[in-house]
Amino acid sequence: MDQHLRQVQTHKLALSPQIRQYLKLLQLPLAELHQAIETELSENPMLEETAGASTDAENQESVEATPAEIEKNPEELQVGESFDHLDLLADNFQEIQYQDISQGDPAELKKHKDFQESLITKPEGLSDFLEWQVGFLDLTEAQKKIATELIGNIDEEGYLRCTVEEIATAVNTSPSEVLKTLELIQELDPPGIGARNLQEALLLQLKRKGPEAVVAQRIVTDYLPLFEKRNWQELAKILSVDAETVKKASQIIMHLEPKPGRTFYVEEPIAVKPDATVSFNEEDDDNVYKIEIHDETIPELRINSYYRRLLQQKGLDEKTRLFLREKLQNAINFIKSLGQRQSTIRAITEAIVNVQPEFFAKGFSHLHPLRLKDIAETLGIHESTVSRAIQGKYISTPQGTIPYKSFFSTKLETLFGESESQKSIMEKIRALVSQEPSSRPYSDEKIVEILKQDGILIARRTVAKYRDLLKILPSHLRRRK
């Protein structure tokens, strides 16, 4: 293979360290930003949190201090401080601590300990509850093994998510033995547990209701499609009963639990801390809305004056000097990037308020079409910068705390030459369904006709898509007689 030199000219985008730092901080939500600041403070000795309210002039003066000033302010270095009183405090603390434990009432201490343990004990799950009930059943060792395998394959909704044959293979037994154990599991609480489909879950619950649910059982077993269409007259004719009996049976079915494991759902609370708040401005008539960027919890940072002065000292070894110079530059970049992040979020928030004033007063049905590109062109920044800035961030509004991304929606032209956003159309569909006659709900075609009267021209399949996104049932399932 021949070796030779070749000159190639290429174009490559190279981001400066400060730009990379800025983009990294920009995409962090408020909670993660605090963690990033804490990490930077712990890793960079050149960076420190401003203690108390200090002016920019004082900060600048401390940064530009000379090495000679170190001798004038020895208390800043805290050199030569006696630690005798600290040792005394530590001894006193240990004495008080052990005294409280030894002299406390044992009953009270146990009560306090039990309370603390209850706080960290995880709530009982569905599988825990089922295993507890299985402990009261008279099962053989083989059945216990099958029961454990079955419970492990029951999902949070209470359904068995594997076949009897798969369980049999896993525990090396016959499908008939698995089926016998499954029937025992299905007799446990909550009713309907261990079902393999919706029909079985409903039937397991109806069997516990006795003779009053005989008609309901027949409906679920053989005529569930007719029940879904709410065709009571046809069901009464097929079952040879009167319509009133069918309606009573339908009421029993409607009150069954389609997800037997729902009572054990554990919803993890999501703590959302908004990066900005938009509220009505009652003090200024010229500005209808007041914008507040929540930077009050972000600590003010500055360059550590001691290490800055140390860097200016003569006779400092080269390795230490290079280290301090690198940390100084990193600290400056971090402080500047933090400030740029705040100003970018404010600018984007102001641009959104200018475009969407009606939303803050009237809600999502008055949301105008808005693209990331529109905000980027308004502010003179790149579209990807806007995307990073709104990622994972929330804004508190008179309509509630919502993600920044909720303000952005695609544009649809109306017959009147106006623009409607996708989200505003979805809200119109939601409003139409909420106001429709219960006995004659609007079909997708009817909703298309009503929207056309408002100048909104969309296809029936688009209405069906939006209806699914809004979790609205089809018209035949919304009918009430």
Mean per-residue pLDDT for 405-410?
82
Pairwise CA distance, residues 459 & 448, whole Å? 7
Query: Is residue 342 exposed (0-12), middle (13-18) or buried (19+ Cβ within 10 Å)?
Result: middle
Q: Which residue has the tokens 């270095």?
A: 77
pLDDT at 21: 86
Checking if the pLDDT of 289 tops 90, the result is no
Long-range (24+ apart) CB contacts under 8 A made by 54-61 are 54/302, 59/302, 59/303
Given a contact cutoff of 8 angstroms between Cβ atoms, the answer to whether 186 and 164 are in contact is: no
pLDDT band at 414 (very low <50, low <70, confident <90, very high): low
pLDDT at 10: 66
The string of DSSP codes covering 325-346 is HHHHHHHHHHHHHHHHHHHHHH
Q: Which residue has the higher pLDDT, 361 or 94?
A: 361
Given a contact cutoff of 8 angstroms between Cβ atoms, the answer to whether 45 and 307 are in contact is: yes
Checking if the pLDDT of 5 tops 80, the result is no
Instruction: Give Cα 393 distance to the centre of its chain.
Output: 11
Fold classification of 411-478 (topology level): Arc Repressor Mutant, subunit A (1.10.10)
Long-range (24+ apart) CB contacts under 8 A made by 213-220 are 213/249, 213/252, 215/239, 215/241, 215/245, 215/246, 215/248, 215/249, 216/249, 216/250, 216/252, 216/253, 219/246, 219/249, 219/250, 219/253, 220/253
CB atoms within 10 A of CB 54: 13
Checking if the pLDDT of 195 tops 90, the result is yes
Given a contact cutoff of 8 angstroms between Cβ atoms, the answer to whether 25 and 19 are in contact is: no
Checking if the pLDDT of 13 tops 80, the result is no
pLDDT band at 379 (very low <50, low <70, confident <90, very high): very high
Pairwise CA distance, residues 446 & 440, whole Å? 11
DSSP 267: P
Pairwise CA distance, residues 330 & 316, whole Å? 20
Checking if the pLDDT of 56 tops 60, the result is no
Checking if the pLDDT of 154 tops 60, the result is yes
pLDDT band at 107 (very low <50, low <70, confident <90, very high): low
pLDDT band at 110 (very low <50, low <70, confident <90, very high): low
DSSP 179: H
Mean per-residue pLDDT for 301-324?
88
Checking if the pLDDT of 429 tops 70, the result is yes
pLDDT at 442: 87
Given a contact cutoff of 8 angstroms between Cβ atoms, the answer to whether 301 and 335 are in contact is: yes
Mean per-residue pLDDT for 352-357?
89
Helix axes 232-239, 243-254, angle to 10 degrees: 110
Q: Which residue has the higher pLDDT, 122 or 192?
A: 192
pLDDT at 78: 37
pLDDT band at 267 (very low <50, low <70, confident <90, very high): low
pLDDT, tens only, 214-238: 999 999 999 888 888 777 888 888 8
pLDDT band at 204 (very low <50, low <70, confident <90, very high): very high
pLDDT at 347: 94
Q: Which residue has the tokens 């952005």?
A: 408
Contacts of 245 (CB under 8 A, 6+ apart): 215, 236, 239
Q: Would you call 144 helix, strand, or coil by DSSP? A: helix
CATH 1.10.10.60 domain position(s) in the chain? 411-478
pLDDT band at 141 (very low <50, low <70, confident <90, very high): very high
φ, ψ (nearest 5 deg) of residue 404: -60, -35
Q: List the structure tokens of 419.
A: 């623009």
